[in-house]
């Protein structure tokens, strides 16, 4: 990322709040519903923790197909929890400055957001 941002450029990213989730170790992210009648999707996740900081994510997307009813898709991936302090250290060592974390209570966004300035 550092190589793609000009000196003085701005970095902005959002990550899951793994500082909280690693303590709670949830096993499911409940269903969310999208779309309107005739074009609905239901999305939910199952998390199988395999280490303190790693889990297997099962993503299920069930979509209404109109006349054919509902079709479900299942996707699997391994995730590693990246803590805020880790990302802060990575950004600093890559040459970013003025690293700042913004939280949902400040932004209204559901995940923490990190901002930083590219040095140079």
Give one DSSP letter per residue of the chain, joined into a string: -GGGS-TT-EEEEE---HHHHHHH--SEEEEEEES-TTS-EEEEEEEEEEETTEEEEEEEEEEE-GGG-EEEEEEEEEEE---HHHHHHHHHHTTEEEEEEE-HHHH--SS-EEEEEE--
CB–CB of 111/19 below 8 Å? no
Q: What is the pLDDT of residue 77?
A: 98
Q: Is the pTM of this model over 0.75?
A: yes
Q: Which two tokens stand for residue 104?
A: 């949902």
**Mean pLDDT for each consecutive 10-residue tract of the chain (120 residues)?**
88 96 96 87 97 97 85 97 97 95 97 93
């Amino acid at each position: 990322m550092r190589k793609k941002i000009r000196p003085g450029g701005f970095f902005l990213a959002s990550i899951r709040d793994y500082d909280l989730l690693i303590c709670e170790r949830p096993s499911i992210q409940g269903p969310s519903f999208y779309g309107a009648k005739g074009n609905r999707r239901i999305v939910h996740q199952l998390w199988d923790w395999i280490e303190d900081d790693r889990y297997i994510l099962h993503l299920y997307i069930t979509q209404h197909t109109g006349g054919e009813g509902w079709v479900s898709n299942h996707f699997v991936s391994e995730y590693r929890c990246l803590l805020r302090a880790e990302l802060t250290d990575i950004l600093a060592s890559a040459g970013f400055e003025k690293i700042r974390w913004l939280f949902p209570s400040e932004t209204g966004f559901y995940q923490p957001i990190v901002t930083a300035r590219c040095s140079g």
